[in-house]
């Protein structure tokens, strides 16, 4: 009789997995190496097989569809060796995106291209541009009476062609640079000096080079001075001979050297097309390369691209992918789940031999130290099948009385790998090697997705004593004994994890003395990115959970690519937030959810005996007097005593701090009128008409001109009605407010300035501009709010206020509030950036 089984909840830094223990059907969110063990009772087990459902072999084959992976975002560096002696680190604080631009884009879509490059820069990424010029070259050659020649996708470059190439590349390079400069973005042309090469095969290709070295002095100079480098695909030999390099090849050789965060190929077709002219959404090279290269439509430039893509990705970390898209669809590619264009990735191999395994990475899935896991595997003769990026694994053990039958001791998969069927690859490898498999799952606790997957991969299953039991390659008349033995099986990994769990829990309690553990609910978008960064800046805080249902199991870097973090997204719901809070020892939650969503989550927190701090960035609790309004400059004493903080809105922060001194002094006569313009980041990262750059070009968009949430919020907090007219501008981030106020009595400018100076003289995040008019550009990317532009005419006062909507208007203020509630110095994590 099996008296109890266990679910082991664990936390981890790198491996984005759910551990499914078939011995009890439990699913463990693996959040770090610390384990918290819970026990569940099971009923008496019977050896009788009842309610057997058996799929035919034919149906099982039909149900298994071709595996196509989605973008791989996990894992360490590829084992492939780079062509270069070392990786080149161009900058310590900038996230490089390599952008290869096709000549057709320069010719037909320059405006959208420039917007895309500016967009990348504004969200914290740093483009390095490599451009082509194929259409322009062909036009020039035709005009000169020269027929373009290609061999295996490479342009044959005779002396006359080389001369034209240098002239064309210089011209096209300057087009990009001048367009960037005209848009307000600094850029530099680099037509030579990055690529050193040797002649590829002069008799065949003429002056075409094979890149042997990357020279980065020019790139480093550009980046250090905040310029976008625009690079032509021309190389030089050691002796100064100019050579032509295919632009695709040049970009990918540069990528191998600098290891960018992302590789983008921008073209006019918005992807790579197949033989039917349809854009291929995903290309997984490890699975598809050989077959693609045999296709009759893969020739010339397409064949060269695929060959170079594989060569590049073989030499880069497994997390690296190449995206092919158009300028117009770039934002969709970066910020929507479905994306747009073609994503090319290396793919995943399957490891089946113990000698191939990295026990350091595997151990994080089970709450054991690497040496403990390795010893356990050897002692218990466990078999492990795992994919090369360690997101899916299966642990097996042969049954003592039936050595040819293996019970699955543990499934380790993530939700995404079940959805895209990449977990199937691991299971099929295990099935091919060990053939006869049996496993069980607790009927009550196994989720629907996992149950459906088990039924898909199994030949048959039965329900017995609260368990679902599954098998492969066992005749129906012979399944009774293996099922009985499976039901009686006790996982050695579970037993070992239980021993380690108590020590891990003790370590968790000990660690809390040094750092407060923070959760972020709704961890996505621009504000979420700044919150993650600021929490990381704070030596007194540790971001323990970042919850996002759409990104569950992925690294936070998939949502915030400019960040440096190993944290994985968790799936926290209103139903389980109390367990996550308790199990992970959360001291404070940032709730960055849309409006009208937070209520059930707060109710979940209310179930806990020990209440964490809640800082809600939505509008849900700004009108609730049981929550404290989180404006530290005016309400610090109450914030320190509270555990429930309603973080002010972005516009509201500017209006409230501007009007507060006047309201306090009894100087407001009637309703102030507030005219505001926000950058389009205020509309969020989800594409909409309010962040559509085409619509915003040379334009501002008014919206919600009466009863805006922030109008109601400030009116409520001041107990004074105001009028607010919001607009969206064509700049990325920042807010400007021009506020017209009727005073109860005439004041001079000096009296007004004195009033504001006295109110905020000890507030480091509020600046008073006595004589100037604050500008959005001067305050963007800063934690401070600036009040100035004071214009007085008797009892009519106009004040101008600027702030960054993502920082003081959201993330900065949220961190101030959390720090105050936890007893931390208010500007910890902020002050180094002032």
The C-alpha atoms of residue 699 and residue 697 are separated, in whole angstroms, by 5
Q: Are residues 577 and 621 in the same domain?
A: yes
- Please give the average pLDDT of every successive group of 10 residues along the chain, which has 834 residues: 27 33 40 27 31 38 25 29 38 71 84 85 83 87 86 84 89 91 90 89 88 86 87 89 90 87 85 81 78 82 83 76 82 58 78 77 72 84 84 86 86 72 82 92 85 92 90 91 86 68 46 76 80 90 86 74 72 90 92 92 92 96 93 95 96 98 95 96 73 86 95 94 96 96 96 96 96 94 96 97 96 97 94 90
**450, 472, 500: which is the final residue of a domain?**
500
Residue 336: burial class (beta carbons within 10 Å; 0-12, 13-18, 19+): middle
pLDDT at 447: 84
The verdict on residue 533 lying in a domain is yes
344 contacts 322 by C-beta, under 8 angstroms: yes
**345, 377, 402: which is the final residue of a domain?**
345
| Per-residue buried b or exposed e for 709-747, using 16+ beta carbons within 10 Å of the residue's own CB | bbbbbbbebbeeebbbbbbbbbbbbbbbbbbebebeeeb
CA distances from 42 to 388, 411, 440, 497, 501 (A): 35, 20, 13, 20, 21
The C-alpha atoms of residue 568 and residue 548 are separated, in whole angstroms, by 10
Q: Domain holding 611: CATH number?
A: 3.40.50.720
Q: Are residues 378 and 306 in the same domain?
A: no
| Residues with a known catalytic role | 650
Element (DSSP H or E) covering residue 578: helix 577-584
According to DSSP, residue 303 is labeled H
Q: Are residues 621 and 485 in the same domain?
A: no
Residue 54: burial class (beta carbons within 10 Å; 0-12, 13-18, 19+): middle
The verdict on residue 75 lying in a domain is no
The C-alpha atoms of residue 110 and residue 176 are separated, in whole angstroms, by 8
The C-alpha atoms of residue 126 and residue 291 are separated, in whole angstroms, by 35
Nearest to 338 by CA among 281, 397, 255: 281
**500, 528, 563: which is the final residue of a domain?**
500
Q: Are residues 281 and 389 in the same domain?
A: no
pLDDT at 23: 47
Q: Domain holding 121: CATH number?
A: 3.40.1160.10
The verdict on residue 814 lying in a domain is no
Q: Are residues 654 and 642 in the same domain?
A: no
pLDDT at 258: 84
CA distances from 444 to 42, 48, 352 (A): 10, 20, 32
| Per-residue buried b or exposed e for 803-814, using 16+ beta carbons within 10 Å of the residue's own CB | bbbbbbbbbbbb
The verdict on residue 811 lying in a domain is no
pLDDT at 32: 30
| Per-residue buried b or exposed e for 84-98, using 16+ beta carbons within 10 Å of the residue's own CB | beeebebeeebbbbb
Q: Are residues 372 and 320 in the same domain?
A: no
Domain extent at residue 671: 650-805
pLDDT at 493: 78
The verdict on residue 73 lying in a domain is no
The C-alpha atoms of residue 390 and residue 779 are separated, in whole angstroms, by 44
Torsion of CA 477, 479, 481, 485, to 10 degrees: 180
The verdict on residue 815 lying in a domain is no
Torsion of CA 102, 108, 114, 120, to 10 degrees: -50
Q: Are residues 421 and 525 in the same domain?
A: no
Q: Are residues 439 and 375 in the same domain?
A: yes
The verdict on residue 350 lying in a domain is no
> Backbone phi, then psi, for 316, in 5-degree steps?
-125, 165
Q: Are residues 496 and 513 in the same domain?
A: no
The C-alpha atoms of residue 304 and residue 293 are separated, in whole angstroms, by 10
CA distances from 766 to 646, 654, 678, 758, 792 (A): 20, 10, 19, 12, 21
**How many CB atoms are closer than 10 A to CB 427?**
24
Residues 6+ apart with CB under 8 A from 467: 25, 42, 440, 441, 442, 443, 487
Q: Are residues 186 and 213 in the same domain?
A: yes
Give the β-pairing of 723-728 and 701-702: antiparallel
Q: Are residues 216 and 336 in the same domain?
A: yes
The verdict on residue 239 lying in a domain is yes
Q: Domain holding 13: CATH number?
A: 3.40.630.30
pLDDT at 22: 52
Per DSSP, the residues of 541-557 read: EEEEEEE-STTTTSBGG
Number of domains present in the structure of the chain: 4
Q: Domain holding 670: CATH number?
A: 3.30.360.10
pLDDT at 807: 96
Element (DSSP H or E) covering residue 487: helix 480-488
Q: Are residues 61 and 113 in the same domain?
A: no
Place of tokens 């590789």: 263
Nearest to 385 by CA among 434, 346, 419, 345: 434
């Amino acid at each position: 009789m099996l008296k109890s089984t266990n679910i082991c909840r664990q936390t981890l830094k790198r491996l984005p997995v759910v551990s499914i223990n078939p011995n009890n059907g439990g699913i463990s969110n693996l959040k770090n190496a610390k384990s918290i063990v819970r026990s569940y009772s099971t009923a008496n087990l019977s050896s009788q097989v009842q309610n057997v459902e058996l799929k035919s072999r034919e149906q099982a084959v039909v149900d298994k569809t071709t595996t196509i992976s989605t973008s791989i975002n996990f894992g360490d560096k590829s084992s492939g060796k780079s062509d270069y002696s070392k990786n080149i680190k161009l900058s310590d604080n900038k996230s490089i995106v390599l952008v290869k631009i096709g000549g057709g884009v320069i010719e037909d879509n320059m405006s959208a291209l420039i917007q895309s490059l500016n967009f990348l820069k504004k969200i914290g990424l740093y483009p390095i541009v490599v451009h082509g010029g194929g259409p322009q070259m062909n036009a020039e050659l035709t005009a000169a009476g020269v027929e373009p020649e290609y061999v295996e996708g490479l342009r044959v470059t005779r002396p006359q062609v080389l001369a034209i190439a240098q002239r064309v590349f210089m011209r096209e390079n300057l087009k990009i640079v001048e367009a960037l400069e005209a848009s307000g973005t600094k850029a530099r042309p680099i037509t030579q000096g990055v690529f050193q090469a040797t002649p590829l095969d002069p008799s065949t290709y003429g002056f075409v080079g094979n890149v042997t070295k990357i020279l980065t002095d020019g790139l480093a100079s550009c980046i250090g001075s905040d310029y976008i480098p625009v690079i032509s695909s021309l190389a030089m030999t050691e002796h100064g001979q100019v050579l032509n390099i295919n632009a695709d090849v040049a970009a990918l050789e540069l990528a191998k050297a600098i290891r960018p965060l992302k590789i983008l190929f921008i073209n006019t077709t918005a992807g790579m097309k197949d033989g039917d002219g349809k854009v291929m959404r995903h290309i997984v090279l490890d699975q598809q390369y050989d077959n693609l290269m045999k296709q009759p439509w893969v020739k010339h430039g397409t064949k060269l691209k695929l060959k170079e893509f594989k060569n590049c990705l073989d030499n880069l970390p497994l997390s690296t992918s190449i995206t092919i898209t158009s300028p117009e669809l770039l934002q969709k590619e970066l910020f929507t789940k479905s994306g747009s264009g073609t994503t090319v990735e290396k793919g995943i191999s399957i490891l089946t031999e113990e000698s191939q395994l990295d026990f350091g990475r595997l151990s994080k899935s089970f709450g054991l130290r690497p040496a403990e896991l390795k010893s356990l595997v050897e002692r218990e003769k466990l078999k492990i099948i795992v994919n090369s990026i360690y997101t899916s694994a299966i642990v097996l053990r042969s049954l003592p009385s039936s050595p040819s039958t293996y019970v699955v001791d543990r499934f380790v998969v993530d939700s995404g790998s079940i959805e895209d069927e990449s977990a199937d690859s691991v299971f099929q490898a295990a099935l091919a090697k060990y053939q006869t498999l049996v496993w069980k799952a607790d009927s009550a606790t196994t989720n629907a997705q996992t149950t459906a997957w088990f039924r898909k991969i199994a030949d048959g299953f039965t329900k017995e004593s609260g368990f679902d039991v599954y098998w492969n390659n066992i005749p129906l008349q012979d399944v009774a004994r293996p099922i009985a033995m499976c039901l009686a099986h006790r996982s050695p990994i579970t037993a070992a994890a239980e021993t380690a769990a108590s020590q891990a829990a003790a370590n968790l309690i000990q660690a809390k003395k040094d750092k407060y553990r923070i959760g972020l609910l709704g961890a996505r978008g621009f504000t979420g990115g700044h919150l993650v960064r600021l929490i990381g800046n704070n030596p007194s805080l540790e971001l323990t959970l970042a919850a996002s249902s759409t990104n569950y199991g992925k690294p936070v870097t998939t949502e915030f690519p400019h960040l440096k973090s190993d944290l994985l997204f968790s799936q926290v719901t209103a139903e389980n937030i109390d367990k996550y809070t308790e199990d992970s020892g959360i001291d404070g939650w940032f709730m960055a959810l849309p409006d009208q969503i937070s209520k059930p989550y707060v109710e979940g927190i209310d179930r806990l005996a020990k209440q964490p701090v809640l800082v809600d960035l939505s509008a849900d609790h700004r009108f609730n007097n049981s929550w404290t309004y989180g404006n530290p400059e005016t309400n610090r004493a109450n914030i320190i005593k509270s555990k429930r903080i309603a973080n002010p809105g972005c516009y509201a922060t500017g209006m409230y701090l501007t009007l507060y001194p006047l309201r306090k002094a009894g100087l407001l006569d009637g309703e102030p009128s507030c005219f505001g313009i926000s950058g389009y980041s205020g509309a969020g990262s989800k594409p909409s008409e309010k962040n559509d750059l085409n619509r915003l070009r040379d334009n501002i968009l008014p919206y919600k001109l009466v009863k805006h949430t922030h109008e109601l919020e400030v009116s409520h907090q001041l107990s004074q009605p105001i009028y607010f007219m919001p607009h969206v501008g064509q700049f990325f981030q920042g807010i400007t407010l021009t506020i017209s106020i009727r005073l109860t009595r005439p004041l001079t400018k000096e009296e007004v300035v004195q009033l504001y100076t006295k109110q905020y003289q000890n507030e480091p995040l509020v600046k008073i501009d006595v004589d100037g008019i604050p500008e959005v550009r001067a305050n963007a990317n800063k934690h401070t709010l600036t009040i100035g532009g004071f214009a007085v005419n008797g009892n009519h006062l106009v004040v101008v206020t600027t702030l960054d909507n993502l920082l003081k208007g959201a993330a900065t203020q949220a961190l101030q509030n959390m720090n105050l509630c936890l007893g931390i110095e208010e500007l910890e994590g902020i002050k180094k950036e002032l």
